[in-house]
Chains A and B, each alone.
Chain A
């Protein structure tokens, strides 16, 4: 079960956060700071999974962008690790420059994530199907 997904830059600033378990808005920044600190402090040769409180973190770095996923104990870390990559491949397919685009298209990245993950479960991994609703929206917005 996925508990949250974070996109963070190298300075530790949150670029996107999506929670699948209720966390108070006021508590989120400190949780995020803590989570990011743990992941950023890891060395390259160390594994991409971190234990954090009663759950685990899976993180993956793309240039200056970090993606961190908080998962429950029973989840398969490696499958989440690859899910992150699948997600980035989708972003790559949609945006020309992923890193700056996600900053200015927060809504669209959220729409993409909503297609992939719901209620903490992976609901779609087929890239074409993930993008279909968003592309249809774009098309209609253009027509307007």
Chain B
């Protein structure tokens, strides 16, 4: 018998070629299994499936119990049971019959029995004990097929305690003449090593023998053991380095039989396995690493063929090269290799390239530099997986300088993603970055919306387990931070901490004493370095926390200090007062800060209508009607009463901008009142504590609260560089400077912000000149990777307005320089505010030549700033059409021209214009000029205004906006020196012009 089988095995190759469809069609679809499968395929609902499978299981149960069922039938029944379990329906009654089938069946039936056992049972199942005898019998069988299947099942699962029973037999098989038996015996021993390493300790020498087996399959099988052993203890196996290197060299050199090849690549998975082993051996070991440099280089060189599998090997090779002791020449080659991945048009390779980069930048962050543009493209890739991998890469190259941008990018991704797992993972990373770097490094100087975004992220999640975990994580880590030294923590971070603790401390309440967080917060208040703003956040958090008696006592203590020890800060006093009252009145507290209310966003009554009753009562009682700060000031000016100018000046920008919008529209009005939600204005109007609490509750809401809090909560609001939304409601592009930019410019800026702090800037240099834009365009035509930057285009600059003071148009010219000749065609996208009067599109640019195109544009509607975007599509001879985007920012001042009018005409026009705006501006002081003259000169020089006349302390100025031939809306300015500032009154027939112009006037004078 055994001879027959041995012959069968040795005859396999020929058998294969003769009958390659041996097993096909054996089973007729009309059999019971066939019917079951057909039935399942035709199902339309889960319910139907359940009915069908239940019925099937009943029938199986009946059949297995019947004494008349033959082993042949049993085999088919087992497959049906496997099918049912695969669909999620337990068929535990059939387990014992599977074991019986393995025991009693003839070969194929036996194999199916073993298969069913390995699918049905798990490794700890007691049923497995019933299998031991069968396995032992089969291992000793003279039928090689039976030995094979017994070894297969043993290497899948075997009861740990029974290993000694079969170990000698398995060991014996290591010297079996048939390679397949030796191979399977090695794999069985590997399994034993995994589940009970002590049992196989004495046979290590036999593993070595297997490693040196003349059959490559047996050697390959032994590598599983060695990978495991070396991973656990590399020091003990350093002597194997030579063997591993030799094996790899032989495999790479094509010394294996041809049937080990996969698509002409010799044993690729074996190569990968060997590379992994070498990585473990060479890690942090120069001597060992030196032994493998040659073979690693050869692997890199040999893997030239353009097939996925060679890239899989290359990837592993690069990883190994960057894991072992570095050799610069090899590192360079590996880095070059990564370029092939990253630049590949094949998306799978790009993914792997990003993964490789992620790995290597941990060794040297500068390696990301040559690929910055690709990385940025991948960041905007339509495939989320690519995006996600890119973020992972960025996470690795985060440093103090680029952390803000990277966190922003991560948050951006988070807003789009709906996958729980990646959200949690990424949030963890954001939290890590935020906590580790942002807050501690640049805490007070970074943009306020970063912590705000972070907080919103924490708050926004649905209240599921993961979100709870994340919040709890934040709470716990913050608590431990506060327990340490807090003096070095930036104020903004302390504010974040306070908010998080206030909102989410309840999550950990069960496990710690309720007062602990309160005590930490109180300690924060005691410290001298804590700023007033932070103190108010801390008090807010305490208000939310004072539920337990311990906390109430603590809160009272704190309040008393603030209320009675003469703290001068009104905000703090107010917060302390709130805390005081709420801590004493639990009912009120429950109403104002409901525990379950954390999940709902409170409605904000932006029109402050809840005050109507109060206001009318006050009016009836003889109070003066409310006037906006601007109105008040105007009244004062007209009355020429005492100069109260300092009031106007002391108002933060956000408040003075409220006054601008006051008279505009109800929507803007509500915006401004929303803005002032937490500011002193509210408390001016309110008398009673409860009303103030309304305001407080709103502040602690979720929706829209944070942004408001930031602009209002910061006491000395810095003069913002960019126009605030309220100052220029007509110019959406300028409101969001980053998102308003055209993609390409944005990418370049992004690149410089992402890769800042990495290496010297000698690789790909991204230059931004004041009014020219450089574009690097990637050439994807040839496979060679050194061609990243081939073409250089330099489109669009603005004709200087300075030199053409009286010109009637703004000319925007594009200059395109090409290294190689190409067909080009540009199309500009004009935002609604701008229109093009004439333009000349590009046609063809010869190699090494320059072509110029000119567009004449005018501004149709006044706006602080507009983005002119365009697409430059170009095509090389024989090449694919490509496109590059560019954008150009045009400011209002480019479109302003002096308006020459007489004083008399000025007067007439002044009366006829309906839209006006008033504002105090800074006066320019010089040594040899009157302040008024100096200021007007500065405006004239910067904004091309026409000074009509200056009489005493008043000056009149006029300009117009370019809006087409012979058209142009005028804007008149009336300026008067008032104490130390210049009161400017602007009038125009259109509403948006004074607004935008005022912004530029402010800016011009601030810069002077």
Q: How far is the CB of A137 from chain B (nearest CB, A)?
A: 5
CA distance A125 to B269 in the complex (A): 8
Segment touching A, from B380-388, B402-410, B525-533: B380-388
CA distance A135 to B12 in the complex (A): 8
Q: How far is the CB of B135 from chain A (nearest CB, A)?
A: 15
A29 with B421: CB separation less than 8 A = no
Interface residues of A in 92-120 (CB under 8 A from B): 93-97, 101, 103-108, 110-111, 114-115, 118-119
Query: 1/0 per residue B23-62: CB within 8 Å of A?
Result: 1111101000110010011000000000000000000000
CA distance A133 to B448 in the complex (A): 67
B187 with A118: CB separation less than 8 A = yes
Best-buried of B12, B20, B23, B388 by chain A (most CB within 10 Å): B23
Q: How far is the CB of B537 from chain A (nearest CB, A)?
A: 36
Q: How far is the CB of A58 from chain B (nearest CB, A)?
A: 9
Residues in B whose Cβ lies below 8 Å from that of A141: 106-108
Best-buried of A13, A22, A28, A119 by chain B (most CB within 10 Å): A119
CA distance A108 to B111 in the complex (A): 10
Residues in A whose Cβ lies below 8 Å from that of B273: 122
Residues in B whose Cβ lies below 8 Å from that of A139: 8, 15, 22
A29 with B88: CB separation less than 8 A = yes
Segment touching A, from B148-156, B455-463, B790-798, B987-995: B148-156
In the complex, residue of chain A having the shortest beta-carbon distance to the beta carbon of B341: A78
A51 with B351: CB separation less than 8 A = no
Query: 1/0 per residue B87-119: CB within 8 Å of A?
Result: 111100000000000000011100110010011
Known contacts A51-B385, A76-B312, A125-B262: A106-B83 contact under CB 8 Å = yes
A132 with B9: CB separation less than 8 A = yes
Residues in B whose Cβ lies below 8 Å from that of A104: 27, 29, 33-34, 37
Q: How far is the CB of A120 from chain B (nearest CB, A)?
A: 10
CB within 8 A of A76: which of B78, B87, B316, B388? B316
Interface residues of B in 109-160 (CB under 8 A from A): 111-112, 115, 118-119, 122-123, 144-145, 148-149, 152, 155-156
Residues in B whose Cβ lies below 8 Å from that of A63: none
A47 with B22: CB separation less than 8 A = no
Interface residues of B in 369-423 (CB under 8 A from A): 382-383, 385-386, 388, 419, 421-422
**B836 interface residue, CB < 8 Å from A?**
no
CB within 8 A of A135: which of B22, B90, B119, B194? B22
Interface residues of A in 62-101 (CB under 8 A from B): 76-79, 81-83, 86, 93-97, 101
Known contacts A93-B20, A136-B145: A83-B269 contact under CB 8 Å = yes
B217 with A129: CB separation less than 8 A = yes
A95 with B149: CB separation less than 8 A = no
A128 with B13: CB separation less than 8 A = yes
A78 with B107: CB separation less than 8 A = no
CA distance A113 to B167 in the complex (A): 25
B13 with A78: CB separation less than 8 A = no
B156 with A118: CB separation less than 8 A = yes
Q: How far is the CB of A126 from chain B (nearest CB, A)?
A: 5
Best-buried of A26, A82, A95 by chain B (most CB within 10 Å): A82
Best-buried of A46, A94, A107 by chain B (most CB within 10 Å): A107
Residues in A whose Cβ lies below 8 Å from that of B260: 125-126
CB within 8 A of B79: which of A45, A49, A107? A107
**B267 interface residue, CB < 8 Å from A?**
yes
Known contacts A25-B85, A78-B315: A47-B16 contact under CB 8 Å = no
Known contacts A51-B388, A119-B156, A136-B8: A97-B82 contact under CB 8 Å = no
CA distance A21 to B349 in the complex (A): 28
Best-buried of B27, B88, B89 by chain A (most CB within 10 Å): B88
CA distance A54 to B313 in the complex (A): 24
Q: How far is the CB of B337 from chain A (nearest CB, A)?
A: 14
A107 with B82: CB separation less than 8 A = yes
Query: 1/0 per residue A130-144: CB within 8 Å of B?
Result: 011111111111001
In the complex, residue of chain A having the shortest beta-carbon distance to the beta carbon of B313: A79
**A123 interface residue, CB < 8 Å from B?**
yes
Residues in A whose Cβ lies below 8 Å from that of B170: none
Known contacts A94-B23, A97-B24, A126-B217: A114-B152 contact under CB 8 Å = yes
B347 with A45: CB separation less than 8 A = yes
Q: How far is the CB of B362 from chain A (nearest CB, A)?
A: 14
CB within 8 A of A140: which of B8, B40, B155, B350? B8
**A48 interface residue, CB < 8 Å from B?**
yes
Q: How far is the CB of A44 from chain B (nearest CB, A)?
A: 10
Interface residues of A in 11-52 (CB under 8 A from B): 13-14, 16-18, 22, 25-26, 28-29, 43, 45-52
B20 with A79: CB separation less than 8 A = no
Known contacts A26-B88, A82-B262, A105-B26: A122-B180 contact under CB 8 Å = no
A114 with B194: CB separation less than 8 A = no
In the complex, residue of chain B having the shortest beta-carbon distance to the beta carbon of A133: B148
11 contacts between A and B (CB under 8 A): A28-B88, A47-B351, A51-B388, A52-B421, A79-B268, A106-B33, A106-B83, A118-B187, A125-B267, A136-B12, A138-B23
Chain B residues in the interface with A (C-beta under 8 A): 5, 8-9, 12-13, 15-16, 20-27, 29, 33-34, 37, 40-41, 75, 78-79, 82-83, 85-90, 106-108, 111-112, 115, 118-119, 122-123, 144-145, 148-149, 152, 155-156, 180, 183, 187, 190-191, 194, 217, 220-221, 224, 259-260, 262, 267-270, 272-273, 308-309, 311-313, 315-316, 347-352, 355, 382-383, 385-386, 388, 419, 421-422
Chain A residues in the interface with B (C-beta under 8 A): 9, 13-14, 16-18, 22, 25-26, 28-29, 43, 45-54, 76-79, 81-83, 86, 93-97, 101, 103-108, 110-111, 114-115, 118-119, 121-129, 131-141, 144
Q: Please give me the 4 A-B residue pairs with the lowest Cβ-Cβ distance, nearest first.
A: A78-B312, A29-B88, A79-B312, A46-B383
